Chain A
């Protein structure tokens, strides 16, 4: 494959993560998927090594290797196991990132430092049963009682939610203002009274990464744990997701590269009709098409990462990265299975797991359809046009078609 030219420090990061993945992750990837087991021991080891601290400032124990470093981390992790990449991704690019972006000195000292070392595990809670893509319309509420906020409501699809020590929770603090000043982010500790974990989803893929429902019943949160100021929760969430999308692209590159390498090896060792299947044009074309996709994915991921690291706004680019890389990784893994024939369908090889794991990347952290809306909206904004979002009340059918 074509090696992307990174700086010496990023190359060192890559080699270390690769060794960690080979030694600690590959040997257990199949087993944790089958057992639906979160490998917390591996996550702790990753924390001790510094793998949970890649993009954050040295001042708080971070490696300060930027989003570029973070994307390389995700790439290498996803080559070994997408569940572990997802656990580390939700911890780093969502929970720790939002505290990095919105937190004050005291909050960073108390939480970001521990998240960087892995002594604290993080989760990030925005989605609710009735607010997925429509994240601005969450209904969890927070009311100020003296010097405490009292939070009530429910969150859903929260990665790491069942075992995280620190959860960034978004709640409505002023319904009249909606997303523009009415939503606030809170740093919640799992031991706060009123915090409860509900059921863990039974998912198609990412089975070693647990996704939970969270319930808040008069959960009391100190006023000092408001993140980024009262009313600033929604823009902070969007900014956090924006940066995180680049990391998803990095992970997708890793999954695609792994599928390609397996396919290339298989093509030269598998014989049919008296010759390696690499001799057949049908296979050659598949390999070529996979490589074209991987090369373009990698270019846009690291070009966007470079812009984010330079402090530039890259909302448009990040959405393109998320959309394109999640689609391309799915296609590359699908073709890899085709090259492997029956073996690709077998659980003996990691491809079937990778195929299941890849599917959700087109859904989570903003569905690909939402990404298209973001991309279009950004493009139209460039020429001074703003899309009008009509809000209205639509009746719910009395008899839903499938009930």
Chain B
């Protein structure tokens, strides 16, 4: 069985700075595996340990992204693949999905694609659905539990954790799955593998290797403004605590909050 995990490297989100034009300035900020992708990697390892075969981590990005791919290898991924080309530098989600889809087709034997539900830098959340649509594969989004991956019947059964309901779904393989936080408990990279994986140079496929061309972003950011400030709250006054609490409760009742 061949599982592919699509992962990206992101700046540690609690330490990024904001540029004057409100874009993200990640210069000098520590890079980490996108939080949700780390859960996808762990889920990939769990099913790879069960069924054997290959677990490939795939990234589209610059050379420096290899650092986080090596971490995934130290966690337990068996293979890595970097998609790198100057033409890939400014893609939007759809165009990125087209490139990754071309790589998946070129790999040829992929049974399952796992990825995080969104990245913590771009926040589009549209990558997995776009990839599934382009490949024509079933898409299972917001997966909070993978119940079974069955190489015999070539099916996957999983729980989709939606806002008000947990949906159990089954789909034929190959399929695209996006996972949510806390689907599992990602393991630490094995330090015993560090020396070995630190030397790994993932194979690199370019636009020419993939036969993709004419990639233009369909969405471009034209302006960034901060959201309007929230109006300040109302302060409840009164001579003592009991009066203030009564006023507050009346107010909450009046607005049907309690």
Question: Which residues of A are at the interface with B, using a C-beta cutoff of 8 A?
Answer: 3, 7-9, 11-13, 15-16, 19-20, 49-51, 53-54, 58, 61, 63-65
Contact = CB atoms under 8 A, between A and B. Distances in A.
Contact of A63 (B32, B71, B192): B192
Contact of B191 (A3, A7, A8, A63): A63
A119 to B, nearest CB: 15
A368 to B, nearest CB: 33
A65 B188 CA distance: 18
A58 B194 CA distance: 11
A216 to B, nearest CB: 36
Contacts of A53: 191-192
19 contacts: A3-B28, A8-B70, A8-B198, A9-B194, A9-B195, A11-B67, A12-B189, A15-B71, A16-B71, A16-B74, A16-B189, A16-B191, A16-B194, A19-B188, A51-B191, A53-B192, A58-B195, A63-B194, A65-B194
Contacts of B30: 15
A64 B191 CA distance: 10
Contact of A8 (B67, B189, B190, B192): B67
Contacts of B195: 9, 58, 63-65
B188 A49 contact: yes
Which secondary structure dominates chain B's binding surface?
helix
B9 to A, nearest CB: 12
A50 B67 contact: no
* Interface hub of B71, B189, B191, B195 (most chain A Cβ within 10 A): B191
Interface string B166-194: 00000000000000000000001111101
Point out which of A11, A16, A53, A61 has the most chain B C-beta atoms below 10 A from its C-beta.
Answer: A16
Interface residues of B, number: 16
Interface of B: 28, 30, 32, 67, 70-71, 74, 188-192, 194-195, 197-198
A117 to B, nearest CB: 10
Contact of B190 (A7, A9, A50): A50
A8 B63 CA distance: 13
A50 B190 CA distance: 8
A63 B192 CA distance: 6
A49 B188 CA distance: 7
A12 B188 contact: no
Nearest to A8: B198
7 closest A-B pairs (Cβ-Cβ)? A50-B191, A9-B198, A8-B198, A12-B194, A9-B194, A50-B192, A16-B189
A49 B191 contact: yes
Contacts of A54: 191
Nearest to B197: A12
Contacts of A19: 188
Given A8-B67, A12-B67, 7 more contacts: A9-B198, A13-B191, A16-B194, A49-B190, A50-B192, A64-B195, A65-B195
Contacts of B28: 3
A13 B70 CA distance: 12
Contact of A20 (B74, B188, B197): B188
A12 B198 contact: yes
A54 B194 CA distance: 11
Contacts of B70: 8, 12
Contacts of A15: 30, 32, 71
Contacts of A3: 28
A178 to B, nearest CB: 42
Nearest to B32: A15
B189 to A, nearest CB: 5
Q: Identify the interface centre among B67, B190, B198: most chain A CB within 10 Å of its CB.
A: B198
B192 A12 contact: no
Contacts of B188: 16, 19-20, 49
Interface centre among B30, B70, B188, by most chain A C-beta atoms within 10 angstroms, is B188
A49 B74 CA distance: 12
A9 B196 CA distance: 9
A13 B71 contact: no
A221 to B, nearest CB: 32
A3 B198 CA distance: 19
A63 B28 CA distance: 28
A181 to B, nearest CB: 39
A53 B67 CA distance: 22
Given A7-B198, A63-B195, A65-B195, A12 B74 contact: yes
A65 B70 CA distance: 17
Nearest to A3: B28
Contacts of B198: 7-9, 12
A50 B194 CA distance: 10
A11 to B, nearest CB: 7
A61 B188 CA distance: 17
Contacts of A7: 198
Contacts of A13: 191, 194
A53 B191 CA distance: 9
A19 B67 CA distance: 15
Contacts of B71: 12, 15-16
A87 to B, nearest CB: 18
A276 B70 CA distance: 41
A49 B194 CA distance: 11
B248 to A, nearest CB: 29
Contacts of A16: 71, 74, 188-189, 191, 194
Contacts of A12: 67, 70-71, 74, 189, 194, 197-198
